[in-house]
Amino acid sequence: MKTVSENESFGGVQGVYSHASEACGCEMTFAVYLPPQAQQGKVPVLWYLSGLTCTHENAMVKAGAQAWASREGIALIFPDTSPRGEGIANDAAYDLGQGAGFYVDATEAPWAPHFNMWQYVVHELPALIFDNFPLDPARQGITGHSMGGHGALTIGMTHPEIYRSLSAISPIANPGASDWGRKQFTAYLGADEAKWQAHDATVLMRERGYPGTVMIDQGAKDQFLDLLRPEALAEAAAARRQPLNFRLIAGADHSYFYVAGVMEEHIRFHASRLRP
């Protein structure tokens, strides 16, 4: 692991690091915020998965998360959204290829050799992080925005034994029925829609749910609302009688201005569930 930068932030340290990823077959960059409480011992962890076109940097810089994480004593992990670099498959469209890994393990050419973001986020990166930072692996939560909200929901519902708290901000909630999902799943996983089901939050909510309250915020003026399909996820949760804190926020769009406005509540939600 290489240190790219480290900066003091709200009494803690905001670091950026890189490493050679076996899962992705390339150099990957990620960010870690350690609150001041980490100087006394291991602290809980909140994973933040970012959306289309983002890197580790977008939420790290724009979400205003460090102030609230410092107050609550919770670490933040900001992974990248895909493998990157020369020799890595890409596409001219912003919603496929580099910057658009969709948190799946690709099985189709030309994506399969590198686009293994599920393996990277769930297994490889945590192993590296828990070996190098004072973090408590028994106290992990996961959240994300847009494509990252999709990743957080699917990963969290699949592995509730790892993630004790789960939330999402404007998630791609039903990708199997949306152009933000069908295109990417066909490219990465193939045309057999049965293989998509494990990566559709609405399907997972209907089939298994989550052993705890899930928090979801959605802007009512989101310009991508028809692609996100939050109503499908809400209906699946209601049918299952899943405890769900779902807020449709008047006037809010899809931007990081909105994300920053709800970040305090998401961090407090996770911190309350990750205390010893």
**Residues 195, 107, 148, 42: what is their CA dihedral angle, to the nearest 10 degrees?**
110
Among the listed residues 105, 200, 217, 222, the single catalytic one is 222
- Catalytic residue check, 254: yes
52: tokens are 């289309």
Among the listed residues 146, 165, 167, 178, the single catalytic one is 146
Closest CA to 49 of 65, 70, 26: 65
- Catalytic residue check, 70: no
- Catalytic residue check, 18: no
For Cα atoms 263, 264, 268, give the angle at the middle one, nearest 5 degrees. 115
> From its phi and psi, is residue 244 left (phi > 0), alpha (psi between -120 and 50) or beta?
beta
Integer angstrom CA distances of residue 86 from 13, 126, 237? 31, 25, 42
Residues in the chain: 276
Catalytic residue positions, numbered: 146, 222, 254
